[in-house]
Amino acid sequence: EEQINQIRKDLDMWVSGHDVAKPCISFGHFGFDDRLINAIIKQGFTEPTGIQRQAIPVALSGRDLIGVAKTGSGKTASFVWPMIIHILDQPELEKGDGPIGLILAPTRELAHQIYVEAKKFAKVYNIKVAAVYGGDSKADQFKELRNGHVEILVATPGRLIDMIKMKATNLRKITYLVLDEADRMLDLGFEPQVRSICNNIRPDRQVLMFSATFPKRIEKLTRDVLNDPVKIHIGNVGA
Ligand code: ADP
Ligand code: MG
């Protein structure tokens, strides 16, 4: 216990919540299989970042989580790798006819970046990733969603709602939801869309929220959407 507290202190990390999984100091300790480890090494990554050390074991334990850490700290991988494990764990029956993992992001640029990052690791397992966001052709995105068996979907909230209305996709099988850059999503006025999407996802889901800051409005959203979350706060970041 003391050793764990020291690891967290060294990482300038604050954790709240009960029964929090232990942090892992190296990639070898996450329990990932060789294919994923090799894909990580291929990226030139040698050790997990601070947020990854704590968020990944918590995510793998099935808990909801709030991760607050500054930009550039490797938050994307900390939700993408456990999402891949979650998808591999689903029974065959659950696959097909709609994504299992959903990542909501505030802007097309960010959605695209997450898509690129997720694909690097998902492709190792033939897990299909798609992205939908404003500014690109709805017809093309519609086709991509309708034709393929998409397991991971990255989306901006408004465009996802359009795609659901067009019956290009559905939320029935989503059991792993990520709200990335939650503070920016609210700043950009997407709170109603985010809430509407969350309200239409089955209750037996895992939710991970990442944000660079943690204002009151985010706190309220976490109370409404997350279930008994672990909160991980790294460094000297906002509110
Ligand atoms: P954030 O979402 O926290 O702003 P990103 O997930 O975009 O950060 O990661 C920032 C950069 O760090 C990306 O280029 C990513 O590929 C890289 N990165 C992620 N994890 C590691 C790691 N463990 N070691 C080295 N680089 C990493
Ligand atoms: Mg990010």
Q: Per-residue confidence at 91, pLDDT binned at 50, 70, 90?
A: confident
> Please, which residues have CB within 8 angstroms of residue 114's CB and are 6 or more apart in sequence?
76, 80, 103, 105, 131, 154, 180
Distance CA 184, CA 152 (A): 22
| R_g over Cα of the chain | 17
Q: What is the pTM of this model?
A: 0.96
Atom of ligand 1 nearest to the CA of 49: 23
Question: In this predicted model, what pLDDT tens digit does every residue of 114-162 receive, in sequence order?
Answer: 999 999 999 999 999 999 999 999 999 999 998 878 999 999 999 999 9
Residue nearest to atom 2 of ligand 1 (CA): 75
Decide if pLDDT at 239 tops 80. Answer: no
CA of 190 to the centre of ligand 1 (A): 25
Decide if pLDDT at 228 tops 90. Answer: yes
ipTM of the complex: 0.99
Token reading at 160: 């996802």
Range list of β-strands (E), the chain: 13-16, 65-68, 101-104, 129-132, 152-155, 176-179, 206-211, 230-234
The ligand placed nearest to the CA atom of residue 77 is 1
Q: Ligand 1 in contact with 75 (CB < 6 A)? A: yes
